[in-house]
Amino acid sequence: MNETLIQLSQTWPAWLWNIALILFSFLIGLLIKLIFIPLLRRQAIQQESYSLFRSFIRRFNRVLSVFIPLIVFNSLLPFTQLNERTLRVVSKTNELLLVSFFAIVLIQGIKVFEDYLYHRFDINKENNLRERKIRTQIVFIRKVVVTLIIVISLAIILLSFDSMQKIGAGLLTGVGVGGIIIGFAAQKSLGNLLAGFQIAFTQPIRMDDVLVVEGEWGRVEEINLTYVVVNIWDKRRLVLPITYFIEKPFQNWTRTTSEILGTVFIYTDFTVPVQQLREKLTTLLTGHPLWDGKVNVLQVTDFKERTMEIRCLMSCRNSGQAFDLRCFIREQMIAYIHSNFPNALARTRVDYQDSIQKDL
């Protein structure tokens, strides 16, 4: 094979031979797009919503159509008819591109594996505590590994230049006096990174956890290396440094389970028949799709000077359903009291008889 290529290179004009090698290399990438990728796509469409083929296509469709031609062109470089200086420049450029695209291939391979784990541990189900634990670790580990791949790739690229070898070696090893100085200068960032490791494995918060933080209710949307994004109920995003969840208190409503008790407070006159309200609450909850059937309690929890405090307590599968059920119970109980016991609504009493006798 090598002898055949050498003979062809000697019989063809140099410029035509070089163009032919370049076109042949890029033809490989074109063939990948026109034959290999569509074949996998057709197989993936015939399968379920998730498939390894579909994930592979989505992640590698563009990368392989460039990476494989670069490998082919690199193997054909010894057979090109280029002068020494041009060959050195082309070879160095191709080498850097290979390193860069090899790093991208590794990153995309990690994402294919991440897609499989996301399918294996699906959080779109009722009791997803274990899945959210694992997904939190997957996200953080993936980001750390991707960062390491990028740093090592940059170090290898720098090491390929004689004038940049010291910088590349320093970036690759990360030791020495310079590293210590950078460590002191960036101790906050390093603290965030270490806090990220602590959160990933001790897990005071997880992906999709329901939190009350800084007075806002929301779900954990992203856990990055240095910060956390909380998706607030009204679609705002609260961005907090990751150390916040190590140093400050916050409420986690899904730490061990998503189940939660919902409360409704009603303030009425002392004359309201509590037992009938208790029966009405049971009637409203029974058969309601948002009630999980576990807790159904109505109690008088406090007396004020002019009102009586009644608490309705109910259990739900998660905080979102609890909010909707509380609103429903609040509306229905007020409507029931207004219709059946209008005189029992909270009011201010004035005794005119006592006032007249005092005036007299």
| 190 inside domain | no
- Asked if the structure places residue 136 within a domain, the reply is no
Q: Which two tokens stand for residue 201?
A: 């494995």
Residue 208 maps to which CATH number? 2.30.30.60
Region 247-256: mean pLDDT is 86
48-82 residue pLDDT tens = 566 777 777 778 777 877 777 777 777 777 667 66
pLDDT, greater one: 25 or 325 = 325
Total domains, the chain: 3
CB 300 within 8 A of CB 309: yes
pLDDT tens digits along 206-247: 888 889 999 899 999 888 878 899 999 888 999 998 888 888
Q: Do 14 and 101 belong to one domain?
A: yes
Residue range 156-200, pLDDT digits in tens: 887 777 655 555 555 556 544 445 554 554 555 566 667 777 777
Same domain, 231 and 309: no
Which structural domain, as residue segments, surrounds residue 274?
Answer: 260-344
Between CA 298 and CA 312 the distance in angstroms is 5
Domain with residue 323: its CATH number is: 3.30.70.100
Would residue 178 count as lying in a domain? no
